[in-house]
Structure 1
Amino acid sequence: MSSQRTAPAPQTPIPAWTVGEFVVRRIDEVELPPQTGPWLLPGATPETVSAAPWLQPDFAGADRVLRLASHTFALDAGGLRILVDTGIGNGKDRANPAWHRLDTDYLQRLERAGFSPETVDLVVLTHLHTDHVGWNTRLQDGAWEPTFPNARHLTSRTEWDYWASMDMEEPRRQMFRDSVHPVHDRGLLDPVDVPAEGLEIAPGVTLVPAPGHTPGQVAVRLGSGGSAALITGDCIHHPVQLAAPDIHSHVDIDPEQARATRRELLAALADTDTLLLGSHFPPPTAGLVRRDGAAYRLEPVPAGRA
């Protein structure tokens, strides 16, 4: 996969959605290269894309190749400033060429959204994969230091225990060395038990189990003033998985569990007013789940500006 390092100009407004009293801001990192779709979701063939014409032009190109992106979400809740996932990060040695030594202006976008790194109170790590933990740290004086020095970094205990007991291959060990261990060693990483009914971490912000992609992955449920939203993590990588929920990522640790999680989630969201915010969905990124025959489609909800 070829490296993709460009990003929208710093003057681009910050996309945002209102969920009751919450304003959920999308902090863009980078659009992922076209090779990502076939690599990540090999079951999403051109024929599958063609069978769901609503995917074009937003979620797939005229060539029927999927579009994906790396971004995170930021919001205030109950006086706490929360960041959901931290993307790929800059300047890190990665086996995936699309992630290797990126140089984006992600932190400048985060600042423009009003979230200076030192003001972040909670970082939610939906799971401990490379493209969700990268901005946990940044290089300072030759060492990887926590980017958010005053924040609790939450992940599920199941997730932490799984990787802590794993004999990892070298690229994953490298990721833990530069992006996970520095926050753990500073006492900033807080594995938490997430019961089946979810764990409220701030008023209206609840971690809910979403296993399969990894054993301890969580999604993030938001509820305020009668409005609701759900941030997916990687239980749904791309809207094509609404049209064909059995398509799984080739990096799902337990594909059958991932399918079951995705189908349960989509059935619960279908034809409701709960906003679905995809952790890798390209713009418009958010939408409402609607039944479409035996499967589903995403009715886009364009972002406002913050």
Structure 2
Amino acid sequence: MRTWHIGNFKITEVHELPIQVGLLDGLIAEATPEVVRGFDWMYPDYANEAGQTLWDIHSYVVDTGEQVVLVDAGCGNGKSYPMQPSFGGLDTRFLERLEEAGYGREDIDAVLCTHLHLDHVGWCSMRNGEGRWIPTFPNARLVLVRDEYERHTGLMTASEDDGSGVAVDVGEDRIARAFLADATSLSEQTKLIQEETFQPVIDAGLLELVPANAEVATGVRYVSTPGHTSAHHSVRLDSGGQSAFITGDFIHHPIQIARPGWSSQGDWDAEASAGNRRAFLESCAGTDLLVLGTHFTGAGAGYVVADGDGYRLTQVKPEAAGARTPRAVFSTQS
């Protein structure tokens, strides 16, 4: 179990599951095995010997000393995900691993989700002994960016296809098209996510909607990073003069650090996603900003440094004397 310290904050990664090797092949189209093998720093943490990219799903517990915040909530157990069955009906040890990290369900004060795709929200709820969906973290506010939540709910009313087999007006959730380009299926799955994951939290009065770039707790704030979804937000942590940045799907895989222009096939706006990554990486390269990737395997985190015409991720912290101070914010394209 990996932990990091940023000032007075303790950050702990809680693993949910590895993503089956090959399942996401082609999601970043340019990242062919031949190309990936050309970046020697990808192996063994982020790619295998064959050049296939490696991914997993995990959450971060951020213990500020005053509050305990969970960032991204994985797939959850027993959820209905007909469009992505590999992530549905799971029975993982996530809650046991959370306990092993020193945190019970009742200890979590707030849950933040970078965006509302199914592999980032599932543990917002769980089944109780009677089979009912209840909030997993009974004392936690579920703090979501309002625009992202409204994007999600808007997908529950999607149009049929136009007769050509191409979905019309499926909203802006193109990650679904990477798996199944069908508006009705997307609408039905979104309704299931609402019913099984968010409605129990709403019924308990624990949902809190906040504006873009909101500070959620002292030193913990959302940072707008649109592109993967229109209102995607990463999470920035600041304590004691040190900083960290949890990417969500703003940076899906470290190959996008090497080549920030390579966007996911599931991005809502590939151009915006690439432009915002470039701006972010330029702002933090050579600084002490710790970058933690929600789907990064291996070391799972590191510091961005320039590498030819791109960047790379290293676990070696830049020397304080030569490191630049990371900008507090960077300009995003919406």
8 Å CA contact 1:284, 1:301 repeated in 2: no
TM-score (norm 2): 0.82
Give the deviation of 1:48 after TM superposition. 2.1
Matched residues in 1 for 2:286 and 2:113: separation? 28
For 2:92, the aligned partner's letter is T
Q: Hey, what does 1:262 align to over in structure 2?
A: 277
Q: Hey, what does 2:265 align to over in structure 1?
A: 250
8 Å CA contact 2:152, 2:190 repeated in 1: no
Query: Which sections of structure 1, spanning at least 5 residues, go unmatched?
Result: 1-13
Equivalent of 2:204 in 186, 197, 201: 186
Q: Hey, what does 2:162 align to over in structure 1?
A: none
Give the deviation of 1:78 after TM superposition. 5.0
Matched residues in 1 for 2:249 and 2:232: separation? 8
TM-score (norm 1): 0.90
**Aligned in 2, Cα 1:97/1:300: closer, same or farther, shift over 3 Å?**
farther
Equivalent of 1:291 in 303, 306, 319: 306
Q: Hey, what does 1:157 align to over in structure 2?
A: 146
8 Å CA contact 1:37, 1:65 repeated in 2: no
Matched residues in 1 for 2:309 and 2:276: separation? 17
Compare the two structures and name the one with the higher strand fraction: 1
Matched residues in 2 for 1:84 and 1:205: separation? 10
8 Å CA contact 1:87, 1:132 repeated in 2: yes
Matched residues in 2 for 1:45 and 1:263: separation? 21
2:149 is the counterpart of 1:134: no
Highest Rg: 1 or 2? 2
Q: Hey, what does 1:274 align to over in structure 2?
A: 289
Q: Hey, what does 1:58 align to over in structure 2?
A: 45
Pairs within 5 Å for 1:86-125 = 86-95=73-82, 96-125=84-113
Partner SS, residue 249 of structure 2: coil
Equivalent of 2:233 in 218, 234, 237: 218
8 Å CA contact 1:78, 1:202 repeated in 2: no
Matched residues in 1 for 2:60 and 2:316: separation? 16
Query: Which sections of structure 2, spanning at least 5 residues, go unmatched?
Result: 159-185, 318-334
Equivalent of 1:80 in 34, 42, 67: 67
The count of aligned residue pairs is 286
Equivalent of 1:171 in 186, 189, 194: 189
Matched residues in 2 for 1:293 and 1:37: separation? 27
For 1:200, the aligned partner's letter is E
Give the deviation of 1:206 after TM superposition. 1.6
Q: Which fold has the larger relative contact order, with Cα–Cα distance below 8 Å and residues 6 or more apart in sequence?
A: 1
Matched residues in 1 for 2:267 and 2:48: separation? 25
RMSD of aligned C-alpha atoms? 1.5
> What percent of counterpart residues are identical?
41
For 2:73, the aligned partner's letter is T
Give the deviation of 1:265 after TM superposition. 1.2
Matched residues in 2 for 1:281 and 1:270: separation? 18
